[in-house]
Chains A and B, each alone.
Chain A
Amino acid sequence: MKSKRHFQFDYISITMTIGILLYLAVLVLPLLLSFFYSFTNFNLLNATNSFIGFKNYVSMLNDDTFLSTLRFTIETTIIVTLLTNVLGLIIALALNQAGPFYTVLRTVFFIPQVLSSVVIGFIWSGMLNSERGLVNTLLRQVGLIGTDGNISWLGTPNLATLSVIVVCIWQMVGFCTVVYLAALQGVPQDLKDAANVDGANSWQTFYNVTFPLLSPGVTVNVVMLLIMMFKLYDIIQVMTATGPAGSTESLAYYVTRMAFTVNRVGYASAMAVILFIFIAMISAGLGKFLRSREIEY
């Protein structure tokens, strides 16, 4: 072996260098540029762009739209993460059995994971259409609303938010289910048997034995869902855009609108930096916390 510090012209080092340079050019350098833009008033309509320090960051605090998109993002993120995890766990527990019947059911829950958010958004827009959508048609048939009743699912602020939440859960629950199923298969049967012998009922066995051993799955699902939801963009773009009275505008959507439609590049960059910091904090901080609580056997 030659000295390790010496750069060798072999296949690995050359291919690696090209790959890293590409990554630096496409991702790292633009990331740094975005940080830089965030301290300028870069705007395609301005003749001159100048350095304005933290002004963009201060303006966010006085920007009602920014605050409401932030609130919408945090609220939906928390609700969807919690509900998707609970439902995913329940479904995983119910479907954690061998046989073709359960395999088919598991597959149904996983299929949304394979579809694009655009397709999911359009399917649900069709379902939720107030005149002809399936949801209102079914509600009329059951008699919950009058025969000419129209619930405007995507046209009323609260209902539009609710609809987005339901669609996100529908899309992501298969992911949680699969991860929990894998975690459940890792729980040794003899531990559960031991609990039964000691007289634990099935709830006690679940709560004291199974659930603590699922903690690696909890970490993955919570962190993954939080990151996905913080980036929420596609579904919003397809289903509601900003929504009635701006009620369903997510932070990622607002950043995109400001950057590419309104062309306030400096301001959009500053918000993108905030979004990035949120996501980095979640993955690093919360991930570490949850991992420290994981139990191994």
Chain B
Amino acid sequence: MRVKRVISPILLTLITAMFGLPLYMAVVNTFKTQEQILADPLGFPAPFTLDNLVNAFSRPDNLIARGLLTSTILVVVSVFFIVIFSSAIGYYIARHNTRFTQGLQLLFLAGLMIPSQIYLIPIVQIFRKFHLIGSFSGMLVVFIGGGLLSFAVFVYSGFIKNIPLEVEEAALIDGANKFQMFWKILFPLLRPATATIVIFLSLWIWNEFLLPLILLGPGNGVTITLGVYMSLGQLYTINYGQMFAMMMIASLPMLALFFAFQREFIAGLVSGALKG
């Protein structure tokens, strides 16, 4: 028993280290020169260089800086609108049990499992006709109205069902209208649901690859994920340091989000998963 108690943490550390090796390599090599990387891919970055990060930002095509800006706007605007729409739809579904709401639930269920290709095919045909391929606002509308809305609707409707009706009735009796009741009284109570939605949607939109690849296409502004894909496709055999630097820049905002909200992150994943 005593031997086991010493061995198992060591064994666990070794296994975790092996699992984390690709992550470690990506981090240390961001701060090494090409020669250092090729000579010793696992070595610690000594001497230490920030050139890769600087070079990634000062690319002539400005792909990284533009990508970060585009992705930030995309995430903020889509999440904002999805929260507005899904909270209203989720509220309605939670508070009414009619054929109409049952139909709605079925409709939104489809959005949870649909492969995006199936709705992208017709959308691309329509966008081509109206010259919307490459348009940022066109892509924004697809992000807001697509499968992510379904996810948010289900999180909100599930959560609102557990909030007693008396809360709203009291507010309405006190003379509040629906808008005031919803935003002043009910919405603050939905914080855990909103946290789950904001965190996961931000992550998924930031990391989404297929939608921007198909709807923006090259040359028309890129999200950060698409930008990394496009630039690494060109230079990946040539410059390892810059490759890791770009991936680091693309991942850092989401890693920061994860570490800042780790508890909400895990709670949201688990509650959604185990109740769903």
B23 in contact with A108 (CB, 8 Å): yes
| A27 contacts B by Cβ under 8 Å | yes
CB contact under 8 A between A179 and B177, given known A30-B121, A116-B206: no
B209 in contact with A234 (CB, 8 Å): yes
B209 in contact with A27 (CB, 8 Å): no
Kindly list chain B residues whose C-beta atoms are within 8 Å of the C-beta of A95. Answer: 12
Cβ distance A105 to chain B, nearest Cβ, rounded Å: 5
Cβ distance B114 to chain A, nearest Cβ, rounded Å: 6
A122 in contact with B9 (CB, 8 Å): no
| A28 contacts B by Cβ under 8 Å | yes
Q: Which of A13, A16, A256, A275 contacts B210 (CB under 8 A)?
A: A256
B145 in contact with A23 (CB, 8 Å): yes
B210 in contact with A233 (CB, 8 Å): yes
Q: Which of B124, B125, B273 contacts A179 (CB under 8 A)?
A: B273
A283 in contact with B121 (CB, 8 Å): no
| A78 contacts B by Cβ under 8 Å | no
Residue of A nearest to B147 (CB): A27
CA distance A27 to B110 in the complex (A): 9
CB contact under 8 A between A27 and B145, given known A126-B243, A234-B210, A272-B118: yes
CA distance A265 to B213 in the complex (A): 17
Residue of A nearest to B111 (CB): A27
The total of interchain contacts (Cβ-Cβ below 8 angstroms) comes to 234
B117 in contact with A259 (CB, 8 Å): yes
| B207 contacts A by Cβ under 8 Å | yes
CB contact under 8 A between A122 and B247, given known A19-B85, A23-B145, A31-B114: yes
Q: Given A116-B209, A216-B274, A268-B117, 8 other A-B contacts at CB below 8 A?
A: A115-B251, A118-B207, A129-B237, A137-B41, A178-B270, A179-B273, A256-B117, A272-B118
Give residues in A with beta carbon < 8 Å to B: 4, 10-13, 15-16, 18-20, 22-23, 25-31, 33-34, 37, 94-95, 101, 105, 107-112, 114-119, 122-127, 129, 132, 134, 137, 170, 175, 178-179, 182-183, 216-217, 220, 224, 227, 230-231, 233-234, 237-238, 252, 255-256, 259-260, 265, 268-269, 272-273, 275-276, 279-280, 283
Give residues in B with beta carbon < 8 Å to A: 8-9, 12-13, 16, 19-23, 25-26, 38, 41-42, 84-86, 88-89, 91-92, 96, 98, 104, 107-108, 110-126, 141-142, 144-147, 149-150, 177-179, 182, 203, 206-207, 209-210, 213-214, 225, 228-229, 232, 236-237, 240, 243, 247, 250-251, 254-255, 257-258, 262, 266, 269-270, 273-274, 276
**21 A-B contacts (beta carbon < 8 Å):** A11-B178, A28-B110, A29-B122, A30-B118, A30-B121, A31-B119, A114-B255, A114-B258, A118-B225, A119-B251, A122-B228, A122-B243, A122-B247, A127-B25, A132-B38, A134-B41, A216-B274, A237-B229, A252-B115, A260-B214, A276-B114
